[in-house]
Amino acid sequence: MTTTDAFESYLAKSNLRVTKERQQLYDGVRAQKGHFTVDTLVHRLKESGYAISRDTVYRNLPLLLEAGVVRQSFRAGRETIYEVDEGKPHHDHLLCSQCGKVEEFVDPKIEALQEDVARQFEFELQHHCHQLVGICKKCRKS
């Protein structure tokens, strides 16, 4: 299965239609490097000649999330930040409250402890949101 099929096979499985917009959205999303917001995504899609409405993006985001194409990364103020979720392993974020710098980290021990907590409360863990906020080295110097 080529990577191009990932979203289409999800759509087929869910009895959803493969539209031009969904294909373009999939392409556009995968072209994103790093973190992005819905607005920047729409803007970049337009630049690439894909005129997909903001609503269509919003409507299809749950599908892209479900299909494992994108991942809700974190929230910066009002905006939700997304990132591509293909190939890249799970990780959490460390943000600088001064300059907005974003670092990614993974800690298997924390992941395991999260599972323990969920088990303890008899929850079936679906996902988690874990952000550390602090001041980076550079900002601390000024």
| Binding stretches for a second copy (CB under 8 A) | 75, 94, 96-97, 103, 105, 107, 109-110, 113-114, 116-118, 120-137, 140
Token digits of residue 21? 């917009």
Q: Is 59 in the site for DNA (CB under 7 A)?
A: yes
- Least distance in angstroms from the C-beta of 54 to DNA: 6
**60 near DNA, rule: CB under 7 A:** yes
Least distance to a second copy, CB of residue 23, Å: 29
Q: Smaller CB distance to DNA: residue 79 or 115?
A: 79
Q: Which is nearer to a second copy, 45 or 57 (CB)?
A: 57
Distance (Å, whole) CA 44 – CA 132: 29
Whichever of 5 and 107 has its CB closer to a second copy, that residue is: 107
**Which CA distances in Å does 47 have to 34, 42, 57, 60, 117?**
18, 9, 15, 20, 45
Q: Pick from 3, 5, 9, 18: which binds DNA (CB under 7 A)?
A: 18
Does position 54 interact with DNA (CB under 7 A)? The reply is yes
Q: Candidates 37-45, 92-100, 114-122, 129-137 — which segment interacts with DNA by CB under 7 A?
A: 37-45
Report residue 41 CA to chain centroid gap: 12
With beta carbons less than 8 A apart as the criterion, state whether 70 and 122 touch: no
Give the residue with the Cβ less far from a second copy, 12 or 117.
117
User: Residue 57 — φ and ψ, nearest 5°?
Assistant: -60, -50
Measure the CA–CA gap between 86 and 67, rounded to whole angstroms. Answer: 10
DSSP state of 17: -
